[in-house]
Structure 1
Amino acid sequence: MMWMPMLGLTALPHLGGLYGGYITRREVKTWYPTLNKPSWRPPNAAFPVVWTCLYTGMGYGSYLIWKELGGFTEDALVPLGLYGLQLALNWAWTPIFFGAHKIKLALIEIVMLTGTVGATVASWYPISRTAALMMAPYMAWLCLATSLNYCIWRDNSEKKEE
């Protein structure tokens, strides 16, 4: 049963990802194609693959922090609290952007998310360098996603958000 926390914490981020995928699947075929997007955007097929890898890495990183700090202890409050906050912000972006079609609000939200991930990484680094470094691909992807969100907002500002 020692593997249960590892499995649970690694799988946790995927729960929001599954819900986000449900919302996105419909909108990628209807609303999203109507938007002006930059030529450098990744293909739609890349997103589920990338997010599966990122969610797995961040989830396993959270397990390493949890394990190093002896579980949900007082010492874990800040590093795992920041992780939980960034996870909630991560899960909220898709319903805002794809579900509500609020591009500007999604941009504000993803900037907050990126900052919270940065704070999470900073709090993890003294505890487990490995866990902190497992968040590096996530930070890189968020920088790309934030840029993409900004360009979509900028290039579609004349369209009234629904």
Structure 2
Amino acid sequence: MRKEQLRAAEAMGWASLLGLTALPHLGGLWGGFITRQEVKTWYPTLNKPSWRPPNAAFPVVWFSLYTGMGYGSYLVWKELGERQEDALVPLGLYGLQLALNWAWTPIFFGAHKLKLALIEVVLLTGTVGATMVSWYPISRTATLIMTPYLMWLCLATSLNYCIWRDNPDPKEE
């Protein structure tokens, strides 16, 4: 009976690892579907700063960031174990930042709302920072894994700002 329990626990651990690591990619796939056509039609018409990364970099970077944030969430979840009351804030903030992350693409690329996307990415960046602060006492490794994501969001926020600034909405003037 003991071996069966160990095997079941091990299988559950692997399922949790794979599930939590893959979870962020669900929104990434949806965002990629929304972005694919807009990158060919609408996005090239925008004025963009010369320092923006090439379009080909975005899927590679986001794949890495989604994998890292998912694995980080697994580390926090695993460390908290059965202490569900302790998980509310760190995993709640993680879920909020994930929802905000997934919402940005439909706002920017789907609805072409540059100002709203800027406000949203500022909220996202702050929520990622709060997530990292809440994770630090639980798993420093998970927190460090989130650092490239926060850095990328700072770049993305700057890029979103410049695009909004340089492409005024005629309805807002």
Q: Secondary structure at the match of 1:80?
A: helix
Aligned residues: 161
Instruction: Give the match for residue 19 of structure 2.
Output: 8
When the two structures are superposed, what TM-score results if normalisation uses the length of structure 2? 0.91
Q: Secondary structure at the match of 1:28?
A: helix
Q: Are 1:57 and 2:43 counterparts? A: no
**How many percent identity over aligned positions?**
83
Flag the structure with higher helix content.
2
Instruction: Give the match for residue 26 of structure 1.
Output: 37
- Contact map agreement 1:17 1:51 (CA 8 A) in 2: yes
Indicate the structure (1 or 2) with the bigger Cα radius of gyration. 2
Distance 1:156 1:28 in 2: 16
**Match for 1:45 among 44, 56, 70?**
56
Distance 1:102 1:27 in 2: 13
Distance 1:69 1:17 in 2: 26
Distance 2:15 2:152 in 1: 29
Instruction: Give the match for residue 157 of structure 2.
Output: 146
RMSD: 1.2
Distance 2:17 2:170 in 1: 45
Report the residue type matching 1:105 in the other structure: L
Instruction: Give the match for residue 126 of structure 2.
Output: 115
Distance 1:154 1:22 in 2: 26
Q: Residue deviations 1:96-123, cap 9 Å, x none?
A: 0000000000000000000000000000
Residue correspondence of structure 1 range 93-132 to structure 2 within 5 A: 93-132=104-143
Give unpaired runs (5+ residues) of structure 2: 1-10
Q: Runs in 1 of length 4+ with deviation above 4 angstroms? A: 158-161
Q: Residue deviations 1:107-152, cap 9 Å, x none?
A: 0000000000000000000100000000000000000000000000
Instruction: Give the match for residue 7 of structure 2.
Output: none
- Contact map agreement 1:36 1:156 (CA 8 A) in 2: yes
Q: Are 1:86 and 2:97 counterparts? A: yes
Distance 2:63 2:83 in 1: 25
Distance 1:27 1:118 in 2: 29
The Cα of 1:71 is off from its aligned counterpart by 5.2
The Cα of 1:74 is off from its aligned counterpart by 1.1
Taking structure 1 as reference, are residues 5 and 104 closer, same or farther at Cα in structure 2, changes over 3 Å only?
same
